[in-house]
Structure 1
Amino acid sequence: MDLGDLLGPLGWTVQVAAAFAIAFFARTVFSPEGKTFAGVARASAVIALLAVLGAAWVVHPAAGMLLGFFGSRAFGNWRAAQPGLVAGLLAAVVFMALGAGWLIYPLFFMGLGWAASGGFGKRERTPEVARPPELPSQVPGVSLSKAAPAKAAPDGRLSGYVQDDRLPADARAQLAALNIRTREALDLLRGQGQQGSEAEYLTRAVREEYAPNAVEAYLKLPRTLADTAPLQDGRTGRALLVEQLELLLDGVQDVLNTALQSGGQDLLTHGRFLRDRFAKSAVNLTDDLRVPAEVKVR
């Protein structure tokens, strides 16, 4: 008897709880709390517990979010997020043990990329702040005041927005997925010789224009009202941003599916050629080896 049978009627509540746990996991790892060991460990423990209780599927989306988490934290100022990254690696081991074994491959190549980019030897440079010129104290009417630091311009790339704490956690999770899927789609289309195609133009526009424009429009809203005040049909700025990013994710997924079908046709055609070629060879070889019935042994 498995654990699902022991839980009985409570099994469906585990599935519902798993859906909420995914949202909680995304909100945690893509927020400032994702830099802490306790925050990532707590969110991962909830995922692992629900997987053991019967919602085995929950480790797969959580594992995908971990990839976005590593990509956004490890390739920047990773030392500031080191405790969270350690907890994320432990969570990855647990998720793989619970069924998401596929996670080992992207983690391996991501680790190679991280090592190639500097790894442990990479240190963040602290920019030197120019000191204001000293003014003579005897000049009347001159007061020295501390200049306000200039705010850094937001990164227009998807990878930059994934780390932007001004965005909701669910939107950052979608942007992380868009960053991975658009890159994968562009590499796949390039490998199939579809440079300059409509699919490549659409994917590049999603990555470089449509998604950043949606984020920038959201960031223009007042911070205190963006997630609470309704803008259209009762939907807030946050809800509209999530909806638009979901549409973009669907569009990129369609491109990936079409590219998969195109590559699959080539594979199927090659398979038919091999079957025809070697099936005929086997028949000819059998005919050559067959002893004619009219030959008599003397």
Structure 2
Amino acid sequence: MAFGKFVDSLFKGPATPEMPSVLAEPRAAESEDEATARALDLLRTAVRSAGGELPTLLSSRLAQIDDLLRVVIEMVAAQNASTEQRVLLDAMIRDYLPTPLRSFLALPEGERTNTSAATLQFSAQLGILEETINDLLNQIRIGAIAELSTHGRFLADKFAAPSLTLDGRS
């Protein structure tokens, strides 16, 4: 194996049928938002292909997180989210979710039961990610509200009737 491929495998993980890499390079003429959405599609495919190997608890949590991330992707594009928000979103999709999923799937089948310690630990990690996603959604909404408020003040200042008249009366 060439050194470059070895280094890539450390960060990307194996691109196996069970767990394809979600770190695919952006395609030509593909926006950052489109690349992020495509990475989430790859992650969804990986979760679905591993469906029989995942306890119901994890499949359910991963589906919920997938739904939330799709909302975030839409809001990020519509609200022109900050660079920090985009980086966090991308990291969740390309690293924070697939890395523990890959590790979980590498465990022996007996350690991937509904009540195993590994399942409960992974579920707790997914709970933290879900809270983070909800916080991110809230940040984006607050940003949109602040932008709307700022625009409202601009309009009020721009088009409000003048308080002084030519004869000096208010």
1:240 is aligned to 2:121: yes
Work out the number of aligned pairs and report it.
127
Contact 1:158 1:175 in 2 (8 A): no
Could you tell me which residue of structure 2 aligns to residue 210 of structure 1? 96
CA gap of 1:199–1:214, structure 2 versus 1, over 3 A, is: same
Contact 1:161 1:175 in 2 (8 A): no
Which aligned pairs between 1:1-12 and structure 2 lie closer than 5 A? none
- Post-superposition, which runs of at least 4 consecutive aligned residues in structure 1 deviate over 6 A? none
**Deviation readout 1:156-215 (Å, 9 max, x if unpaired):** 3331244212112221122122222223323323344447x2221111111122111111
Q: Which residue identity does 1:209 align to in structure 2?
A: D
Q: Which residue identity does 2:18 align to in structure 1?
A: P
Could you tell me which residue of structure 2 aligns to residue 184 of structure 1? 71
Partner Cα separation in structure 2 for residue 229 and residue 278 of structure 1: 63
1:273 is aligned to 2:136: no
CA gap of 1:229–1:251, structure 2 versus 1, over 3 A, is: closer
Could you tell me which residue of structure 2 aligns to residue 108 of structure 1? none
Could you tell me which residue of structure 2 aligns to residue 173 of structure 1? 60
Q: Which residue identity does 2:142 align to in structure 1?
A: Q
Note the residue ranges of structure 1 that are not aligned, 5 or more in a row: 1-151, 231-235, 288-298
Partner Cα separation in structure 2 for residue 169 and residue 279 of structure 1: 58
Partner Cα separation in structure 1 for residue 107 and residue 44 of structure 2: 21
Partner Cα separation in structure 2 for residue 271 and residue 170 of structure 1: 45
- Which of 127, 131, 155 lines up with 1:250 in the alignment? 131
CA gap of 1:225–1:194, structure 2 versus 1, over 3 A, is: closer
Could you tell me which residue of structure 2 aligns to residue 159 of structure 1? 44
Which aligned pairs between 1:277-296 and structure 2 lie closer than 5 A? 277-280=158-161
Note the residue ranges of structure 2 that are not aligned, 5 or more in a row: 1-15, 21-41, 166-170
Partner Cα separation in structure 1 for residue 127 and residue 86 of structure 2: 19
The TM-score normalised by the length of structure 1 is 0.37
- Cα displacement (A) at 1:279: 4.4
Greater relative CO, 1 or 2 (CA 8 Å, sep 6+): 2
- Cα displacement (A) at 1:226: 2.6
Partner Cα separation in structure 2 for residue 228 and residue 191 of structure 1: 38
Partner Cα separation in structure 2 for residue 270 and residue 210 of structure 1: 36
Cα root mean square deviation, aligned: 2.8
Contact 2:19 2:102 in 1 (8 A): no
CA gap of 1:225–1:271, structure 2 versus 1, over 3 A, is: same
Q: Percent of counterpart pairs with the same letter?
A: 25
Partner Cα separation in structure 2 for residue 249 and residue 270 of structure 1: 32
CA gap of 1:204–1:278, structure 2 versus 1, over 3 A, is: same
Q: Which residue identity does 2:101 align to in structure 1?
A: V
